[in-house]
Amino acid sequence: MADGDGAAASGKLTEHSASGAEKGLPRRGKSLSGRTLNTAQIPLVASHPEVYEPCDDSFALVDALLSDKAQLLTLQPRLCMEVGCGSGYVITSLAIMLRQLASGTQYLATDINKHAAETTQATLEAHGVHADVIVTDIVSGLEKHLAGMVDVVVINPPYVPTPEEEIRCKGIASSWAGGLNGRQVIDRILPAVREILSERGWLYMVALEDNDPLDICHLMSEMGYASRVVLKRCTEEESLFVLKFWRDPHTGTSASPKSPKSESWFSQLPFKSLWHKGS
């Protein structure tokens, strides 16, 4: 792990250095550089059969946040938000990670599943941190209040390619069902997040190779966001990316995906994705 020290010192976040082969422990993954990253985790104190239990993708997102911890502390976010908080593992980890900020960062989390909101609340409380947790579809009903207000958004969306109708299932299926190419929920999330991010705001989002992360970055680029891959992790089942987006006045429709700046990390993406748009 690039930066787990402060979090571990809090006594709440610990690092697994054990092999993922051990029963019940998350697997370890490889970062883009090939370096093995430890997996940060907080104890799972609350669960519900209809709520997504933290898994490789959740751990990858928290590890990516930990690797950016110094920058996050420098940013001094006033408002951090998670869309699709599930068990609360990610938003709780983030709040613990940034606890040393004296500026009084506020936290907000949404989930479409009411059991997830309850579980998140229990996880937050068990770790002595606070967030407002709201049951809603993405940020529905909050847009006006949050417009341009959120400094950090974190999302581990439902990204698994599934039949479209599975997206409308209630309960646990909504945790993973992403419809065509796993993009149907993601493609609704991105414009909504753009509206709530502040000028200096950052978005961290998990995506799967099947979601075509390069295309996601192109879409965000058209909305004026630069991007980079914070972490790539190959598990036995999937290739996960944690993408980071931030506003960049030089990024926009005119930005060429073939510019040297883009290539430095475009080349880290799967070859298949590079050719997806016929570019």
119 touching ligand SAM, by CB under 6 A: no
Is residue 1 within 8 A of residue 16, CB to CB? The reply is no
Stretch that binds ligand SAM, among 23-31, 143-151, 168-176, 252-260 (CB under 6 A): 168-176
Among 37, 72, 185, 193, binds ligand SAM (CB under 6 A): 185
Q: What is the rounded distance in angstroms from the CA atom of residue 80 to the CA atom of residue 150?
A: 6
* Ordered alpha helix ranges (H), the chain: 5-9, 56-67, 69-75, 89-97, 114-126, 143-146, 173-176, 186-196, 213-222, 260-266, 271-276
Binding status of residue 164 toward ligand SAM by CB under 6 A: no
Smallest separation, CB 206 to ligand SAM (Å): 7
Q: Is 270 left (phi over 0), alpha (psi -120 to 50) or beta?
A: beta
User: In the structure encoding, which two tokens stand for residue 192, read together?
Assistant: 């909504």
Question: Which of 82, 195, 194, 101 has the alpha carbon at shortest distance from 145?
Answer: 195
Distance of CA 253 to the CA centre of its chain: 25
Q: Per CB under 6 A, does 137 bind ligand SAM? A: yes
Shortest distance (Å) from residue 138 CB to ligand SAM = 4
Where do we find the tokens 């009903």?
141
Interface segment toward ligand SAM; rule CB under 6 A; list 5-13, 96-104, 108-116, 250-258: 108-116
Q: Cα separation of 44 and 22, whole Å?
A: 17
Q: Taking the complex as a whole, how short is the minimal distance between the CB of residue 53 and ligand SAM, in angstroms?
A: 7
251 binds ligand SAM (CB under 6 A): no
Q: Residue 62 or 98: which CB sits closer to ligand SAM?
A: 62
Give the contact letters, 8-37, x = binds to ligand SAM (CB under 6 A), - = no.
------------------------------
DSSP string, 174-209: HHHB--GGG-TTHHHHHHHHHHHEEEEEEEEEEEEG
Q: How far is the CB of 61 from ligand SAM (least distance, A)?
A: 6
Residue 191 CB, shortest distance to ligand SAM, in Å, is 13
Q: Which of residues 142-161 bind ligand SAM (CB under 6 A)?
A: 156, 158
The answer to whether the CB of 32 falls within 8 A of the CB of 213 is no
Backbone angles phi, psi at 150, to 5 degrees: -95, 125
Cβ neighbour number for residue 230 with a 10 Å cutoff = 22
Our finding on whether 40 is near ligand SAM (CB under 6 A) is no
Q: Is 89 near ligand SAM (CB under 6 A)? A: yes
Three-state SS for 246? strand
262 binds ligand SAM (CB under 6 A): no
Does the protein bind ligand SAM through residue 58 (CB under 6 A)?
yes
Report if residue 86 touches ligand SAM, rule: CB under 6 A: yes
Residue 201 in the binding site for ligand SAM (CB under 6 A):
no
Stretch that binds ligand SAM, among 107-115, 144-152, 211-219, 264-272 (CB under 6 A): 107-115
Q: What residue ranges bind ligand SAM (CB under 6 A)?
A: 52, 54, 58, 61, 83-87, 89-90, 110-113, 116, 137-138, 156, 158, 174-176, 185
